[in-house]
Amino acid sequence: MTEPRLDDLLRRAATNQRLRTERAFADLGVTQGQFAVLSIIVANPEVSNADIARIEGLTPQTVSVIAANLVRRGTVIRAPHPEHGRIQQLEATPAGRELFEQCEARAEKLNRWLSGGFTPEELGAARRWLSAVATRG
């Protein structure tokens, strides 16, 4: 039997991790995509949809839908950019920062589970490999 291909293993791992994350956030009514976008907004106040799309590797349309859901929920507000009126900046509300903290605690627990049983050297190698794969053109 041949070893599984790396792309198959990566796809399966990503799918399983997404499912674990979705289950961990289910009672909060948050998707993995919403958490990712909210994380960027909390870390970068006044970020735009286009900025988030570049950071996450998503389409602007996808970010727009996710941001609209976060705005509708009251966790994010939009404000016009002070110099470029067509650009809308996003900022987390107090409710959004509280939701982020709840999600972050659960994500940290998932991360501890994910990294369990591996040495710091193995985790470093995995991070370097995944970072390289994520940033290759």
The answer on pLDDT for 1 being more than 90 is no
Where would I find the H helices in 44-80? 49-56, 60-73
pLDDT in tens, 103-129: 999 999 999 999 999 999 999 999 999
Residues with Cβ < 8 Å from 115, sequence gap 6 or more? 123
- Residue 137 banded pLDDT, cuts 50, 70, 90: low
Domain range list for the chain = 20-135
Q: Is the pTM of this model over 0.85?
A: yes
User: Alpha-carbon distance 90 to 48, whole Å?
Assistant: 6
The answer on pLDDT for 84 being more than 80 is no
Q: How many CB atoms lie within 10 A of CB 47?
A: 18
pLDDT in tens, 13-47: 999 999 999 999 999 999 999 999 999 999 998 89
Query: What sign for the dihedral angle of Cα 92, 32, 135, 52?
Result: negative
- Residue 88 banded pLDDT, cuts 50, 70, 90: confident
Second CATH level (architecture) for the domain 20-135:
Orthogonal Bundle (1.10)
